[in-house]
Structure 1
Amino acid sequence: MSDPLTDKSQAGKGSTVSESPLAGRWEQLGSRVAERADVTLDEVRDVFATYGVPLVLTPARPRALRLVRLRMSGVRAGNVAAGAFDTTIPFGSGLTALVASNFRGKTSVLELITWCLRGSPRELQSGVKGWLHQLDLDITVGEQHLGFRLDLEEGSITNAVVLAAASSTALADRRAPSAAQHVHAVLHATGDQSYADQVENLMLDRLDLVPVVNAFKETGTQTHGWPTYFAALYLGSASTKILLGDQKIGGLAGRLLQVFLDLPAAAALTRVRTAHDVRANQIRDRQAEERRAAEASAHEREQLQSALTAERSRLAELTSQTEGGESLSELARRAARLALEVADARTTDDDARLAAHHTLAERRRAAKRLTDVRESGVARALFQGLDPDACPRCDQAITTERTRLEQESHACAVCSREVEIDGVDDAEVVAEAEARLAAAEQTDNEAQAEAARTRDELARLTGELSVVDGGLRRAQSVASLPDVVESQRRIWQLEGGLAVLPEVVLDDGEESSEARTLRVLASAAKVLDDANKNAAEELFADLNDEIAELSRRFGMNSLEEVKIDRSARLRVTQDGGGKDWFSDCNPGARLRLRIALVIALLRVGAAHGVATHPGLIMIDSPKAEEVQDLDATTLFRELAKVAEEQALQVVITTRDYDLVHAVLDEAHSIEAVEGEPLW
């Protein structure tokens, strides 16, 4: 199989350090997206950078995770074995069974491991939490050795530290950092939430995983971190109908499946699709809101305009003609218009006068610099440099004394260093200073002329306004009529309402940057999805075969075929052609299929040289899920074989002593005396 975005060859089965044939540097990704979206490569890079999508995809680091030992100490309350306890449980490779009677601590061991590794327990009873004073767990992650040390009071963490050492031996019986033993702390927490947050970040980093992000409520996102991944290690009970993970969220199981198969486009594809969906929904909602606002604004403007037209007609009827032939309303409109024009003219005149002031100052400065360069060698040497009025470092004004010293002793007025005047072309400097003065004079002349023009225009408009104001005062007897005054007030009010009511302009049809961004994201999703499909074709064919083979070994003798897709939708064919989805299978079949899937992920990953599942699997009481004695024996025996074949670590709980004795030796079972607690 050849991946469409890389030419790297496939690593062979049995490689200890291999690079995924499906990962690596996808040099053509950006150009393919740009071509499909009809944009530039720089635009693709900008969009990818904005949404955290990499153009370089590298294979994941090995994720092997193994338990070494678990220690619990505290004081047990209740009617069974009450009193102090301090128990250590070692874990080896392969299948390990925890054997005890019901309600004697089997499941709680898995929950205590979960508390340390996941950051919080899943279903640990509050009474059991209250017994514990200390909880220790040693693990290995790849070649790293970590020790989780929790101090507890009344069921809550009071202090927690995770230690790192060169070996598991160095961590044994050690609960604090030690420079002599080269044991150091990688995190420290003083509460439940702090510990959960820090452990999540630690485990994601050590296992080279990234949070899974999906769209949430159309315009938001939801992030699933280490607890979501952990559900693929601590398998759910057969009663749950979720194939992989512990949350029934659309697409989440499929994303976990693809991550553990190390499809390089999986994480990027998820991020791109989520970004596209969220962005598209945001744009859709905003455009709908803009349309509603435009319609409401247009309706309100229509009402105001209609009312204004009617009120102007009413005022025209109420007002008589003035001596000059103009009605009061006409005079009022002229006065309002002229007042606005005067205000604008005054602003323009102020700007012109300020500009003229600046150009005059610059003209004088240029003249002074010309005089200086004609008379002073220092001025000529510094002509091309800055001419600051203040120190550029501290903003303190440059004193007259320092300026005088610059001219007399050739010491720079800013830094006091001697100014080198040798080698300066005096004639060239003087010529440039003269040119600058000429330019400054021309600019100043133009600015002064403009200032004069705006001054005259302001005077003209002010005069016109004065005349109109006089006409209004002469018409005072008419304007004093209550109806006229009220009508004019109403007109001004309506005109003001129209002035402040914005006209909402909808998209004029030109493509916006948002639309281009959406097109880039949609094109990227298509390119990545095509690459993912091609990369997954052979992997999923092998995965189907492995799941079917393992499920038969685990007791599903009538199973004929298994098909799972990239969305983790699994369908089985059994009993002569009957097809059932995973959720429709009986609890025993769901348990076998779930175990088979996780192990198949490891086997297929090993065969294709990709980093996959961490290789730790925890299963709680499979016999409780409608597994008959004969089937349970088959399940345990085959699970033990597969664990040895694939170098897995599987921890399983049961109350069936005879079953464990028939399948496992003492090295692979941890037993309590019947009726007594396991710890």
Structure 2
Amino acid sequence: MSSTDINYRDFVAFVYKQFEDKLSVQEIEDILFLEESYNKDSPASVGKALRLNRLVFSGIRNSGAVLNFDQPFHSGINIWIADNQKGKSTVFKIIKFALTGKDSIKKDIKPWIEEILLEFTVGKVTYTCHIDRTGRDRGSLYRFSIDQYKSYKSGFKLDTLDKQVEFSFRSALELEEKLQSFFFEQFSYYVLKFTQKNSAKDSVDLNTSSLSWATYFKSIYLESSNYKHLFFEQEGIGLQGKKIFEMVLGLPLTYPINMLKVQQDLVNVSLGQLKLVSGTKADTAKSLKAGLEKRYNEVTAELQTGIDNVAIIFQERPLLEEYAQVQQRVARVRKVHRELTESYQGEKSRQNRIEDESDNLKSDRKKVEAEIVRLQRQVLNMELYSQSQSFFTNLDIKSCPHCEITVSETKKEKEKEYHVCSLCGEEPKDQKIEKDEIDQKSAQIQQEITTHQQRLEKIIKSLDEKKVLIGEAKKNAENYNEKISSLPSAEADNKRMSEIEEHIAQIGREREKHKEQLEKKEQLIKEQAVLDFQLEEIKRAEISPVSEEFESLNLKRAVLEFALSSLEKKRSRLNQDILEKLETLILKEVNAFGLKSITKVSINEKYELIYTQNEVQIGFNDLSEGEKLRAKLAFYLSLIQLDIEHSLGRHPRFLIFDSPGSEEMVPQHLKGLAEIFKNVNDRFENELQIFVGSALREFSEITDKKRTFMKNADEFVF
């Protein structure tokens, strides 16, 4: 158990102590029980980043002209500079669609686009999302590049790549659901819930909504309409902005606090409804009951006549349940395949690296062996020289070989004394090398040979070790490859999913034929359910006192309030370190971006940013328009730096800025903003990826030329 974990049993016991005179341990556990662990959250980075590599889309414009867009992307800042209404936002919305399944492309441009290919990398794995828009959206997410996709497509092999298909889809809704599951798994995200009041006038009911992957994507795709807000315009509804913040940071205890808070809101609504019902129940029960019973009988009779007989009974639920089971089975196989593939690639990389090291050692071995041979030749030459010199030195010359005149002892003595040859009488110019000197030099060379031989032994030993390691890596890779090959094929499951999809589509077509009758039937069923509920309420009021239900709900609310208060206090302690690190990073960035008047940044208990500016505490919304953009950029960069520098948080290190600077028309502000982006690119070029779309030519120098896509005046991006 990590330092951020909470022991669920101990927590239940802790809460029970406060209510042991009113509730049992089991009753406390029933209130506090959640479907998933209280320790679901972790601030530790998942160690993955999202990076786009290439975008390709094609189609036909309404003018009949062919549309072909193919753009590679790079790390650091990528910028499009073009006039307004020239397609920058459309490119970003196509990227958003391929990453979330949410289609916000303008209606007049949407029909132009027939095919989309987006290549991206998550961690070490490259994916390509292919979307065919010629009709109902369909396609697949593949585990390879766009170039590989085109190669497989040209060779008619796409239908044979089950193990390299992450998932396939047959509608935009299915794409959205599967992309959410995919990215939730990649970055350890999950659904957070929130409640909001029913829009119906005078309603006391609450609707429960969820934060999807598309909502979390708002912390990545920063649209021009939302620069006035830290996250987006409706972030206050259900505290969605706070929940995005909590999810991106991975703050401990976020899940249990979120789920218990939803329960608390629902209990409060139930209490409000009970008060409303109890206040009027006694006065209206008698007058209402007769009218309700009469209408209930009329609705029941109408349902039992022709309408109920006309409607076809559509049994979708078993199909959907089977589809979910098959889909989960396919997903499990694909997950295992992905993990085995990563392990296989890791072992192959290890094998290649060791083989490179072995090749270098073999080269060193040849060089050392050649040097030993060269030195051994030197020793041999010196020995030959020494022997020949010794031979001639030890000769005792009796007479001149030319004239046969006897060499006298006097000449021999003179040769020793004056170094004059006893035969020719000349004094030699070249000095003879003494034997001691030759022996010394020979010993030195022998020592060099010994040193090289020792080095050669080490190289040979290392080569033997590398050979063993290469064998191990190769064997491991083969084992992983065998496991990959032995995985079951998903062909049958994919076929079954296609059959289910077609069946469901058929049900939809049949339902459309009987739409009017079914709608009327559904209205009657709803009305019958409401009438039934109202009659049951009246009946319950007649049988049991309302005070018991009030007491039960009030007690449940008290338990939830105490549990939430305890969890929030614990979370405040657990999160202190990560929030302090983030505050420090944000302050450093806002100051670097020119907001020197801000001397402190803090995050309060509601997870709102509080700036101390000119010794006055203000919120994000209190900043000027020119300050907000800088503060927002500083905030998101700090989330990414938290991962880079401290391995905390779960931001994908990927941002889209659509038309920044629209509120910063003062020249010095524009220049300052351009300098900020340039500074960000210089500092974090290899750590993150940012896309900027702007009509401002002042931004043309914020990154290098290969990342700058500038269009002439009045020229379209695509």
Q: Structure 1-normalised TM-score?
A: 0.60
CA displacement at 1:548 relative to structure 2: 1.9
CA displacement at 1:678 relative to structure 2: 2.2
- The answer for the alignment partner of 1:651 in structure 2 is 691
Q: What CA distance in whole angstroms lies between the structure 2 residues aligned with 1:265 and 1:606?
A: 23
Contact preservation (8 Å) 2:629, 2:661: no
Supply the AA of the counterpart residue of 2:114.
H
CA deviation vs aligned residue, 1:546-592 (integer Å, no higher than 9, x gap): 21211222232433232333534333333x33543222322221111
Give me the CA root mean square deviation: 3.3
Aligned residue among 2, 9, 14 for 1:32: 14
Change (3 A) 1:213 1:106: same
Aligned residue among 598, 602, 608 for 1:563: 602
- The answer for the alignment partner of 2:65 in structure 1 is 83
- The answer for the alignment partner of 1:609 in structure 2 is 647
For the pair 1:54 / 2:37, whether they are aligned, the reply is yes
For the pair 1:280 / 2:268, whether they are aligned, the reply is yes
Contact preservation (8 Å) 1:144, 1:164: no
CA displacement at 1:27 relative to structure 2: 6.2
Supply the AA of the counterpart residue of 1:142.
G
Change (3 A) 1:502 1:75: closer
- The answer for the alignment partner of 2:707 in structure 1 is 668
Supply the AA of the counterpart residue of 1:206.
Q
- The answer for the alignment partner of 1:419 in structure 2 is none
Supply the AA of the counterpart residue of 1:230.
F
For the pair 1:546 / 2:585, whether they are aligned, the reply is yes
CA displacement at 1:169 relative to structure 2: 6.0
CA displacement at 1:113 relative to structure 2: 0.4
CA displacement at 1:206 relative to structure 2: 3.3
Aligned residue among 562, 567, 587 for 2:625: 587
Q: What CA distance in whole angstroms lies between the structure 2 residues aligned with 1:246 and 1:62?
A: 30
CA displacement at 1:246 relative to structure 2: 4.7
User: How does 1:254-273 map onto structure 2 within 5 Å?
Assistant: 254-273=242-261
Q: What CA distance in whole angstroms lies between the structure 1 residues aligned with 2:271 and 2:540?
A: 24
Change (3 A) 1:280 1:580: closer
CA deviation vs aligned residue, 1:479-503 (integer Å, no higher than 9, x gap): xxxxxxxxxxxxxxxxxxxxx9973
| Farther-moved stretch of structure 1 (615-624 vs 282-291) | 282-291
Change (3 A) 1:151 1:91: same
CA displacement at 1:287 relative to structure 2: 4.4
- The answer for the alignment partner of 1:116 in structure 2 is 98
Q: What CA distance in whole angstroms lies between the structure 1 residues aligned with 2:16 and 2:255?
A: 20
CA displacement at 1:266 relative to structure 2: 1.4
3-state SS of 2:250 partner: coil
Change (3 A) 1:174 1:504: same
3-state SS of 1:138 partner: strand
3-state SS of 2:133 partner: strand
More helix by share: 2
- The answer for the alignment partner of 1:598 in structure 2 is 636
Change (3 A) 1:160 1:300: closer
Aligned residue among 276, 293, 296 for 2:281: 293
Change (3 A) 1:37 1:210: farther
CA displacement at 1:132 relative to structure 2: 0.9
For the pair 1:92 / 2:62, whether they are aligned, the reply is no
Change (3 A) 1:555 1:280: same
- The answer for the alignment partner of 1:69 in structure 2 is 54
CA deviation vs aligned residue, 1:1-45 (integer Å, no higher than 9, x gap): xxxxx653xxxxxxxxxxxxx358666433333334445544344
Change (3 A) 1:196 1:542: same
CA displacement at 1:227 relative to structure 2: 1.6
CA deviation vs aligned residue, 1:226-268 (integer Å, no higher than 9, x gap): 1210111001337643212452314211111111111121122
Supply the AA of the counterpart residue of 2:109.
V
Change (3 A) 1:515 1:501: closer
Change (3 A) 1:37 1:136: farther
| Farther-moved stretch of structure 1 (129-138 vs 35-44) | 35-44
CA displacement at 1:619 relative to structure 2: 0.2
Change (3 A) 1:211 1:245: farther
Aligned residue among 191, 195, 198 for 1:215: 195
Contact preservation (8 Å) 1:152, 1:159: yes
3-state SS of 1:503 partner: helix
For the pair 1:640 / 2:681, whether they are aligned, the reply is yes
Change (3 A) 1:238 1:596: farther
Aligned residue among 127, 133, 139 for 1:161: 139
Supply the AA of the counterpart residue of 1:653.
G
CA displacement at 1:63 relative to structure 2: 5.1
Contact preservation (8 Å) 2:226, 2:233: no
User: How does 1:317-336 map onto structure 2 within 5 Å?
Assistant: none
- The answer for the alignment partner of 1:425 in structure 2 is none
- The answer for the alignment partner of 2:164 in structure 1 is 184
User: How does 1:514-529 map onto structure 2 within 5 Å?
Assistant: 514-529=553-568
CA deviation vs aligned residue, 1:381-409 (integer Å, no higher than 9, x gap): xxxxxxxxxxxxxxxxxxxxxxxxxxxxx
Change (3 A) 1:510 1:293: closer
Supply the AA of the counterpart residue of 1:103.
Q
Supply the AA of the counterpart residue of 2:680.
L
Change (3 A) 1:280 1:657: closer
Supply the AA of the counterpart residue of 1:184.
Q
5+ residue gaps, structure 2:
198-204, 290-538
3-state SS of 2:632 partner: helix
Change (3 A) 1:27 1:57: farther
Q: What CA distance in whole angstroms lies between the structure 1 residues aligned with 2:609 and 2:540?
A: 58
Contact preservation (8 Å) 1:63, 1:141: yes
Contact preservation (8 Å) 1:53, 1:272: no
CA displacement at 1:172 relative to structure 2: 6.0
Q: What CA distance in whole angstroms lies between the structure 2 residues aligned with 1:590 and 1:502?
A: 56
Q: What CA distance in whole angstroms lies between the structure 1 residues aligned with 2:133 and 2:540?
A: 63
Q: Structure 2-normalised TM-score?
A: 0.57
CA displacement at 1:58 relative to structure 2: 5.1
Aligned residue among 106, 119, 122 for 1:141: 122
3-state SS of 1:622 partner: coil
Contact preservation (8 Å) 1:64, 1:142: yes
- The answer for the alignment partner of 1:128 in structure 2 is 109
Contact preservation (8 Å) 1:255, 1:567: no
Q: What CA distance in whole angstroms lies between the structure 2 residues aligned with 1:147 and 1:529?
A: 42
Contact preservation (8 Å) 1:135, 1:149: yes
CA displacement at 1:606 relative to structure 2: 4.5
Supply the AA of the counterpart residue of 1:199.
L
CA displacement at 1:605 relative to structure 2: 4.1
3-state SS of 2:139 partner: strand
CA displacement at 1:109 relative to structure 2: 1.2
User: How does 1:497-516 map onto structure 2 within 5 Å?
Assistant: 503-507=542-546, 514-516=553-555
Q: What CA distance in whole angstroms lies between the structure 1 residues aligned with 2:571 and 2:617?
A: 27
Change (3 A) 1:503 1:120: closer
Supply the AA of the counterpart residue of 1:633.
A
5+ residue gaps, structure 1:
1-5, 9-21, 302-499
Q: What CA distance in whole angstroms lies between the structure 1 residues aligned with 2:87 and 2:541?
A: 70
3-state SS of 2:108 partner: helix
Change (3 A) 1:172 1:561: farther
Contact preservation (8 Å) 1:30, 1:55: no
Q: What CA distance in whole angstroms lies between the structure 2 residues aligned with 1:668 and 1:607?
A: 25
Question: Paired residues, what number?
Answer: 452
Q: What CA distance in whole angstroms lies between the structure 1 residues aligned with 2:228 and 2:622?
A: 8
3-state SS of 1:121 partner: coil
Change (3 A) 1:606 1:529: farther
CA deviation vs aligned residue, 1:192-242 (integer Å, no higher than 9, x gap): 334334433433333321122112215331222112101110013376432
CA displacement at 1:74 relative to structure 2: 1.2
CA displacement at 1:652 relative to structure 2: 0.9
